[in-house]
Structure 1
Amino acid sequence: MKQFKTLVIAAMMLVGGSQAINAQAKTAHVDVSEIMAKMPAMLDAQKQLEKLSATYDTEYKTMVDEYQGKLKKYEQEAATVGDAANETRSKEVQDMQKRIVDYRDNAQKELQTKESDIVKPIMDKVKASIQKVGKAKGFQYVFNSEGLLLADGPNITADVKKDLGF
């Protein structure tokens, strides 16, 4: 019975000791937003997206201006033209409205797709760099600084920027 107690106590100490070892995992943090905001490839991507967005905005504004012009003209002439013409014009205005809404929706979808296509490879590169730097420095876990209430460990943001070349 005494040997059994000794064995149980030894097992408990072994389990407790391994938990203490596991509790001391090396951790660090990195500010991914700062890296993305200052990364030259991301700045170029933002410029491309802004240019594309401006193109869509210009076309959208042209369509809306044309719509408003026709609507104003048709409202002024409504009393002087026949019912058939007013009905045709009403249908034309509704069709224009639908084309404008469809254009806006498609432009938003295309912008989101383009943004995803451009940003994903950049984000993958940042993630790979974080993993590389984290492993090189012997960290088991690297957390994103966003949302951390306490970031008392090493900050490897500068190291990741250096690895990415900026």
Structure 2
Amino acid sequence: MKNLKTLLLIAVFTLGVAGVANAQKIGHIDYQRVVDNMPETRALGVTLEKIGKTYQDDIEGMKKKLEEKYQKYTAEQATQTPENNKKRAEEVQVDRARLEQAQQAAYQEMQAKQNEGIAPIVKKAEKAIEEVAAAKGILYVFDAKSLIVKKGEDLYEAVKVKLGLLKDKPLPQQGQ
């Protein structure tokens, strides 16, 4: 009977310690920092910047042509017939509509390319975080930006090594 009480006490103590150990298997990571510092994200940013510059140049060219046409038509307005002025005004409106459509299409295409490019990056980051957490025996990983108290293990350095992350970009200086 005494041995049974001792075994029962040892079992309760062991289960209690295991419960406390499991409760402490949490970690945190600045998820956005991981994604931002992945080489693939930086490469995607450069690619999107180049595409955006091309769109911007095209749209600026369209704006310049529209402005030149508008100024020409305005200067010649007094020498034209009312029917011709009406046609010209409609032509300028059509060109403005094309410009707006081009701007909208460029914006939508940039969004689509960003979403398409970021999806595999996010998947890779999540997989690395899961693997690091599994290797460390961590059951729950929280985003560090949403935590008020951060007493769990920070997984950033381990994920940084696993993914070969780049250095943090310097923050823009305030007041310049």
Cα deviation, 1:105-148, whole Å, max 9, x if unaligned, reads: 01100000000010110010000000000011001100111121
Structure 2 portions without partners, runs of 5+: 1-11, 166-176
Query: Percent identical across equivalent pairs?
Result: 30
Deviation at 1:150, TM superposition (A): 1.4
One-letter identity of the residue aligned with 1:30: I
One-letter identity of the residue aligned with 1:157: Y
Structure-1 residue corresponding to 2:153: 154
Alignment of 1:66-105 (within 5 A): 66-105=65-104
Structure-1 residue corresponding to 2:19: 21
Structure 1 portions without partners, runs of 5+: 1-13
- Aligned equivalents of 1:162, 1:148: Cα separation in 2: 23
Task: Indicate the SS of the match to 1:146.
Answer: helix
TM-score computed with the length of structure 2 as normaliser: 0.80
Deviation at 1:21, TM superposition (A): 2.8
- Aligned equivalents of 1:152, 1:65: Cα separation in 2: 57
Cα deviation, 1:10-50, whole Å, max 9, x if unaligned, reads: xxxx9xx88x9388151100111221222111110000000
- Aligned equivalents of 2:69, 2:29: Cα separation in 1: 55
Task: Indicate the SS of the match to 1:150.
Answer: coil
Deviation at 1:90, TM superposition (A): 0.6
- Aligned equivalents of 2:48, 2:31: Cα separation in 1: 20
- Aligned equivalents of 1:155, 1:117: Cα separation in 2: 29
Q: Which runs of 4+ in 1 moved over 2 A?
A: 20-23
